[in-house]
Structure 1
Amino acid sequence: MREHRHPFIPFTPPRLPIDEGLERGHRFYELLDARRSVRWFSPDPVPQEAIELAVKAANTAPSGAHQQPWRFVATQNPDLKKRIREAAEAEERQFYDRDVPDWHAALERLETDATKEFLEEAPWLVIAFAQKQQNGKKTYYTNESVGIACGFFIAALHSMGLATLTHTPNPMTFLADLLGRPGERPYILFPIGYPAADCEVPDLTRKPLDEALTVTDGLA
């Protein structure tokens, strides 16, 4: 029996048969492979419970020293969404006016521009904030921790039939001001809703497995 200086509890998840585990893995991959980033949303309402469930899923993410350095702020308020859109578009216009040819070329196939009507059209806006400090103390591995939590959040939304987009206007300090989150850094702005009936997405392909995975024995 190990001795601990702090409370520990047993962790004994069921050991799945190999075939069952692989079958679950295939189903999970197929679920996520159907996910796409969406810029056209239906006005149909989304229950608050769905947002709450997605944040609960995000809260299960691992984090540095279990500090969970994130806060999700959600709104349906039309006036606030309008103000967020106006501020985001002001930042985006400056970006699109800058001479960044490689980045503009990379975005070309997405056909995006500084107009972000989805920030008003989506029933919900949820902003993930990164907490660099908690109760006056520094958090560790903050970016990594918040990134993982946001990944869980996106997967949970997709599992409920909802769509989103990882929108990151730069800089995003206006979100901390508008939402009264001093000392926290806006990380990702998520418009959330059901895809519009006439929704379209770019015809893209994902990186093949042999470009994403290297299996090695560690020998030179």
Structure 2
Amino acid sequence: MCAAAARFADDMHRRRTVREYSPRAVPRQLIIDAVRAAASAPSGANQQPWHFVIVEDAAVRKQIRTAAEIEEREFYQRRAPDEWLNALAPLGTDADKPFLEIAPYLIAIFYQRHGLHPDGSKFKTYYAPESVGIATGILITALHQAGLVTLTHTPSPMGFLRDILKRPVNETPYLLLVAGYPAEDVTVPDIQRKPMTEVCSIV
């Protein structure tokens, strides 16, 4: 058990966020199984307040890119404080998001601010953002284990996702996950994770 845990931790420390993707096709069932793993996550009162939209249609991915880049340009040119832009500078990010079209799959993740009974009446959901965050972590891990790379993309605001993907008003966009194979000549920033002594305490 200890050896298996160490191997898993080592493998996850090799996981990197990737911004350059290959258009190479990915088996749909691989994505579905990763989402199935995510849907096993624990949730407040077992309400499972999430919905995952797997986006494979090229025209829809293009539409999402166009809408996302409008928000991103507004962020980089007007909304982002200098401190935030300075923090992003080493990563080389900007308002252009070609990966939203090039990668074969996007997974739009929504959380339910409240649930809806069959008659349309509302019911309260508990710890919805936290629950969906846990499910998203499992999804990223599942895709990594399957040999794919991912990117978490959170343009703000993300209301356009609900409109483009025709989701109900009780669902709030949580995150857009890019998934696929890395480009052959991909590079990633040279970053280091914090040591365990900084992120973990034992009492």
Same fold by TM-score, threshold 0.5 exceeded? yes
| Equivalent residue, structure 1, for 2:6 | 26
Q: C-alpha distance in 2, partners of 1:158/1:75?
A: 18
Q: C-alpha distance in 2, partners of 1:109/1:180?
A: 36
Residue among 27, 30, 38 paired with 1:47: 27
| Equivalent residue, structure 1, for 2:184 | 197
Query: Is 1:120 the counterpart of 2:78 in the alignment?
Result: no
Query: Is 1:187 the counterpart of 2:174 in the alignment?
Result: yes
How far is 1:113 from its partner?
A: 0.3
Unaligned runs of 5+ in 1: 1-20
Query: Is 1:167 the counterpart of 2:148 in the alignment?
Result: no
- Which structure would you say has the larger Rg? 1
Q: Which structure 2 residues correspond to residues 93-132 of structure 1 after superposition, within 5 A?
A: 93-98=73-78, 99-132=80-113
Please tell me the residue identity of whatever aligns with 1:168.
Answer: T
Q: Which runs of 4+ in 1 moved over 4 A?
A: none
Work out the percentage of aligned pairs sharing the same amino acid: 52
Query: Is 1:158 the counterpart of 2:105 in the alignment?
Result: no
Q: C-alpha distance in 2, partners of 1:198/1:68?
A: 39
Q: C-alpha distance in 1, partners of 2:30/2:197?
A: 36
Please tell me the residue identity of whatever aligns with 2:34.
Answer: A
TM-score normalized with structure 2 length: 0.95
Q: Deviations over 1:77-129 (max 9, x none)?
A: 11111110000000000000125011001101001000000000000111000
How far is 1:182 from its partner?
A: 2.4
Give the SS at the match of 1:185. strand
How far is 1:133 from its partner?
A: 1.6
Q: C-alpha distance in 2, partners of 1:138/1:97?
A: 38
Give the SS at the match of 2:174. strand
Q: C-alpha distance in 2, partners of 1:70/1:200?
A: 33
| Equivalent residue, structure 2, for 1:81 | 61
Please give the root-mean-square deviation of Cα atoms over the aligned residues, in Å. Answer: 0.8
Unaligned runs of 5+ in 2: 117-121
TM-score normalized with structure 1 length: 0.87
Q: Deviations over 1:14-58 (max 9, x none)?
A: xxxxxxx21111011011111101111111100111111111110
